[in-house]
């Protein structure tokens, strides 16, 4: 645009021309002939003066544009200091190619660019997938090589080219002198498809962008594990667990003899062979069982020759031993379906197959409870048990304090006075009956049982409030289960007189505000009180879809954890989140990544909950979580896997790249072109000398015109 100023002298000349009126006068004819001879000389000088002035304006415009003279790829900079931003693609596609090492090529190319810079130049190495909290900054070339480029590693994520360009333009914007921007990449579509120039923000179209490509130009055969699905209703030692891995062929052509291998806790457990047709998917199934409870890590891997792609998908398994649950029936009936524990036992083991069940319910009558040691069970459920004796109370307190779980489901046979006297520290004096010695006996009830309330049939109250943030009710974050639970109607319940009860202890409330499910922690164990019955006598809850997951969740919570699960992991770049009890707010979790790098995550309180999140999941593999104490219930392991599309190794085409970059001046070159070197010479000094010479000549010529 500045070159357009070169026409200014011409415009001034044309505007200032004298308009002469011609009058023929024969007497001066010979004078006019002589004048024309002299005018020709003056006209030539005027045109020459106009050209010189125009050249001076053009030279000034060029000088302001800081032009460079470039040969080859222009690696070496000469003249004014140069500021270079070098973006290095460190996404997973840079290393998942069979028989090649694109990332090694990229680091060599970036090193060559940095080595070509002069001592006074500045450079920044910018990763498309930054790791750590240190922001990219301009440095001396040697420092950028040593501190930024050499430690750079391939991550498991997709290239964030939008963010990298935003960072690069931000650094160049504050720099003076000459500027250049390099992008070293494999140009695979997974990352470049996500590039959005408008999202980059303010960019400089005059800064040349040189895209240096590494790796093979053609699309190599590529296969990966698209999905991993667990097919197991229950996960526990000794039970069969099925995994189904979906393997996809992204490349052109068939990939024969691919071996899919299952590894758990560093031991190969199974392997299958499959042939992948062009663009097709195949499902490979594995079956195995675990020998011990706890957390386990594993992966499914692909083996074979001639194909690229991410070959490993990680997963974790969290399980505890099978749970023995004692169901005490306080109201047995001849008809099994009418018994107090009928719905409970069916909910804990719906199939009736104890050999393949995590929860092992055992039903006894309340009269036999005195002869049964609760220490052989993880959870004890008292269902409408009428009497509470001092000896039974002592044994239940010792059981709960030692880490056991107790569920009290009330009913019409419960003698509230005995429960209150022995379990709640709220005895109701009876004339002539001495009070028992309760010294050293911790109360189990979270309050005092009041009167039984009957609700008219046409006014049955429903379940109104459910604390889905509590781990015992986390399953009801599912809207369908929650709706099913809230649709239940209660016709009778016990009031729970709890004037000092902490509101956090109430897990469920009825529509009239009365507690329905209340928790109390005693020693290492937990107690849950259901103020209505566990059968269908006082509510229709056992007839609802939500009943089975409710009973199983409550029993699992009382036993100290979940029943077990297979976690197929999160995608690299996503945050891992944990929710814990509010009492743990302010504590730190320690997260150890696959490279054994450790970071602390602080648990923070918000909206009555406590949660922590870790966003440093940059590498594929198994991450270990170390809680601050045994009371913080979080899984000890979790898996991180790359995005599936990182194994789609097609290259971005020239036309689509042109559409992506739009007005940005860019050039695509192979990394091999850097070996030719070349130079970049600043023309500023030459232009200054030429401009001065032009101005001197213009002054001399203008003076001659006026002599």
The percent of residues in the chain predicted with pLDDT above 90, rounded, is 50
What pLDDT, on a 0 to 100 scale, did the predictor assign at position 80?
A: 66
Contact yes or no for 290/232 (Cβ under 8 A) = no
Residues forming beta bridges with residue 612, ordered by sequence position: 578
Residue 311 CA to residue 519 CA, distance in Å, equals 47
* β-strand partners of 511: none
More confident residue, 629 or 96: 629
The CA distance from 28 to 267, in Å, is: 118
143-157, 177-191, 202-216, 448-462: lowest mean pLDDT where? 448-462
State the DSSP string of 295-336.
EEEEEEEEE-SS-BS--EEEEEEEE-PPEEEEEEESS--SSG
3-state helix, strand, coil split of the chain in percent (to 5) is: 30, 30, 40
pLDDT digits (tens, 9 = 90+) for 295-314: 899 999 999 988 999 999 99
Task: Give yes or no for a contact between 237 and 209, defined as CB atoms under 8 angstroms apart.
Answer: no
Position with higher pLDDT, 426 vs 158: 158
Contact between 537 and 519 under an 8 Å Cβ cutoff? The reply is: no
Span 325-334, average pLDDT: 90
Task: Answer whether 492's CB lies under 8 Å from 452's CB.
Answer: yes
Arithmetic mean of pLDDT, 516-520: 93
**pLDDT at res. 562:** 58
Is residue 688 within 8 Å of 53, Cβ to Cβ?
no
Please report which confidence band the pLDDT of residue 205 belongs to, taking 50, 70 and 90 as the band edges. confident
Q: In the 3-class helix/strand/coil scheme, how is 152-168 assigned residue by residue?
A: CCCCCCCCCHHHHHHHH
Contact at 8 Å (CB) between 495 and 448?
no
Average confidence (pLDDT) over 335-357: 84
Burial of 291 (C-beta count, 10 Å sphere; 0-12/13-18/19+): exposed
**CA-CA distance, 240 to 235, in Å (whole number)?**
8
- Neighbour-count burial of 299, counting CB atoms closer than 10 A to its CB (0-12 exposed, 13-18 middle, 19+ buried): buried
The tens digit of pLDDT for each residue in 671-688 reads: 888 876 555 566 667 777
The pLDDT, as a whole number, for residue 421 is 86
Which DSSP string corresponds to 225-279? EEEEEEE-S---TTS-EEEEEEEEE-SSS-EEEEEEEEEETTEEEEEEEEEEPTT
pLDDT of residue 665: 86
Q: Residue 525: what are its φ and ψ, rounded to 5°?
A: -110, -175
* Spatial distance between the Cα atoms of 276 and 222, rounded to a whole number of angstroms: 10
- Name the residue with higher pLDDT: 499 or 280: 280
Least confident window among 88-92, 414-418, 582-586: 582-586
- Position 322 scores a pLDDT of 78
Q: List all residues 6 or more positions away from 557 whose beta carbon is below 8 Å from its beta carbon.
A: 405, 471, 472, 526, 528
Q: What is the pLDDT of residues 455-498, one digit of tens each?
A: 886 777 899 999 988 888 988 988 999 999 999 999 999 998 76
- Residue among 179, 142, 184, 149 nearest 164 (CA): 184
Would you state the pLDDT for residue 73? 57
Q: Bridge partners of 468?
A: none
Confidence of residue 16 (pLDDT cuts 50, 70, 90): low
pLDDT in tens, 67-85: 666 555 556 555 568 899 9
**234-251: average pLDDT:** 88
pLDDT in tens, 433-444: 456 667 667 889
Between CA 135 and CA 137 the distance in angstroms is 6
| Residue-level pLDDT at 95 | 86
Partner residues linked to 599 by β-bridges: 591
Element (H, E) at 104: helix 102-115
Q: Residue 429: pLDDT band by 50, 70, 90 thresholds?
A: very low
pLDDT tens digit string along 537-568? 999 999 999 999 999 999 988 987 656 789 99
Distance from C-alpha of 98 to C-alpha of 92, rounded to nearest angstrom: 13
- List strand residue ranges (DSSP E) for 460-505, in order: 461-466, 489-490, 492-497
Could you tell me which residue, 581 or 103, shows the higher pLDDT? 103
pLDDT band at 370 (very low <50, low <70, confident <90, very high): confident
**Where does the pLDDT of residue 503 fall: very low under 50, low under 70, confident under 90, or very high at 90 and above?**
low
Band (341; pLDDT cuts 50, 70, 90)? very high
Q: Is a pLDDT exceeding 80 seen at residue 699?
A: no
Reported as half-sphere exposure (CB side, CA atoms, 13 A), residue 688 has a value of 5
Q: 194 exposed, middle or buried (CB, 10 Å; 0-12, 13-18, 19+)?
A: middle
Mean pLDDT of 108-130: 92
How far apart are the C-alpha atoms of 681 and 330, rounded to whole Å? 96
**Which band of pLDDT confidence, cut at 50, 70 and 90, is reported for residue 132?**
confident
Q: Is pLDDT above 50 for 430?
A: no
295 phi and psi, to 5 degrees? -100, 135
Work out the pLDDT band at 31, boundaries 50, 70, 90: low
User: Higher-confidence residue: 53 or 664?
Assistant: 664
Got the DSSP string for 136-198?
P--B-HHHHIIIIITT----SS---HHHHHHHHHHHHHT--SEEEEEEEE--BHHHHTT--HH
* Mean pLDDT, the chain, whole residue set: 85
The sheet carrying 359-365 orders its strands as 359-365, 323-329, 379-383, 405-409, 525-530, 515-522, 506-510, 461-466, 489-490
Q: How far apart are CA 329 and CA 341, in angstroms?
A: 6
**Per-residue confidence at 658, pLDDT binned at 50, 70, 90?**
very high
Cα separation, 97 vs 388, whole angstroms: 70
Q: All domains of the chain, ordered by start, with CATH?
A: 2-17+25-67+695-705 (no CATH), 68-219+649-682 (3.40.50.410), 223-320 (2.60.40.10), 323-555 (3.40.50.880), 569-641 (2.60.40.10)
Q: Say which DSSP state 202 is in.
A: S
């Amino acid at each position: 645009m500045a070159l357009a100023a070169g026409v200014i002298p011409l415009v001034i000349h044309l505007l200032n021309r004298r308009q002469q009126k011609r009058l023929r006068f024969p007497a001066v004819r010979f004078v006019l002939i002589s004048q024309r001879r002299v005018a020709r000389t003056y006209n030539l000088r005027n045109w020459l003066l106009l050209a010189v002035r125009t050249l001076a304006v053009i030279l000034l415009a060029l000088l302001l544009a800081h032009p460079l003279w470039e040969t080859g790829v222009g690696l070496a900079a000469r003249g004014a200091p140069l500021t270079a931003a070098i973006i290095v693609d460190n996404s997973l596609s840079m290393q998942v190619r069979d028989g090649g090492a694109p990332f090694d090529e990229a680091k060599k190319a970036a090193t060559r660019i940095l080595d070509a810079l002069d001592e006074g130049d500045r450079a920044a190495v910018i990763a498309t997938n930054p790791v750590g909290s240190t922001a990219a900054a301009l440095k001396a070339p040697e420092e950028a090589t040593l501190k930024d480029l050499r430690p750079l590693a391939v991550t498991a994520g997709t290239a964030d080219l939008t963010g990298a360009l935003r960072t690069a333009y931000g650094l160049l914007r504050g720099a003076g002198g000459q500027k250049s921007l390099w992008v070293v990449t494999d140009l695979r579509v997974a990352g470049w498809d996500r590039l959005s120039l408008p999202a980059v923000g303010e960019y400089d179209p005059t800064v040349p962008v040189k895209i240096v490509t590494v790796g093979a130009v053609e699309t190599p055969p590529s296969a990966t594990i698209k999905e991993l699905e667990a097919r197991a209703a229950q996960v526990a030692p000794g039970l069969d667990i099925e995994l189904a891995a979906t393997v996809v062929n992204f490349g052109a052509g068939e990939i024969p003899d691919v071996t899919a291998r299952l590894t758990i806790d560093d031991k190969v457990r199974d392997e299958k062979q499959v042939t992948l047709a062009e663009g097709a998917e195949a499902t490979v199934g594995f079956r195995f069982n675990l020998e011990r409870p706890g957390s386990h890590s594993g992966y499914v891997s692909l083996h074979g020759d001639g194909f690229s792609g991410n070959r490993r998908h990680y997963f974790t398994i969290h399980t505890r031993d099978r749970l023995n649950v004692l169901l005490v029936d306080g109201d047995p009936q001849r008809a099994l379906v009418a018994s107090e524990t009928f719905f409970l036992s069916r909910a804990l083991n719906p199939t009736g197959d104890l050999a393949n069940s995590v929860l092992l319910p055992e039903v006894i009558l309340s009269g036999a409870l005195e002869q049964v040691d609760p220490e052989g069970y993880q959870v004890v459920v008292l269902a409408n048990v009428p009497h509470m004796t001092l000896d039974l109370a002592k044994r239940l307190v010792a059981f709960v304090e030692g880490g056991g779980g107790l569920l009290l489901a009330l009913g019409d046979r419960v003698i509230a006075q005995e429960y209150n006297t022995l379990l709640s520290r709220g005895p109701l004096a009876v004339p002539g009956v001495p009070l028992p010695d309760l010294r050293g006996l911790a109360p189990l009830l979270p309050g005092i049982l009041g009167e039984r309330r009957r609700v008219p049939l046409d006014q049955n109250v429903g379940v109104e409030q459910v604390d889905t943030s509590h781990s015992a009710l986390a399953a009801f974050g599912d809207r369908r289960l929650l709706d099913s639970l809230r649709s239940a109607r209660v016709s009778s319940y016990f009031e729970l007189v709890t004037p000092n009860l902490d509101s956090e202890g109430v897990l469920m409330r009825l529509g009239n505000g009365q507690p329905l499910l209340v928790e109390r922690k005693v020693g290492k164990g937990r107690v849950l009180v259901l103020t209505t019955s566990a059968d269908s006598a006082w509510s229709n809850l056992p007839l609802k879809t939500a009943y089975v997951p409710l009973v199983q969740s409550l029993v699992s919570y009382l036993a100290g954890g979940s029943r077990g699960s297979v976690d197929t992991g999160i995608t690299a770049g996503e945050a891992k989140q944990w929710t814990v009890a509010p009492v743990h707010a302010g504590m730190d979790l320690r997260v150890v990544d696959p490279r054994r790098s450790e970071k602390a995550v602080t648990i923070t309180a918000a909206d009555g909950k406590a949660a922590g999140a870790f966003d440093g999941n940059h590498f594929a593999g198994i991450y270990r979580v170390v809680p601050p104490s045994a009371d913080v219930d979080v899984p000890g392991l979790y898996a991180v896997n790359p995005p599936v599309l990182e194994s789609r190794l097609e290259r971005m085409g020239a036309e689509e790249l042109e559409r992506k970059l739009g007005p940005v001046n860019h050039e695509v070159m192979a990394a091999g072109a850097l070996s030719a070197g070349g130079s970049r010479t600043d023309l500023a000094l030459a232009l200054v000398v030429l401009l001065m010479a032009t101005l001197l000549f213009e002054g001399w010529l203008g003076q001659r015109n006026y002599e």
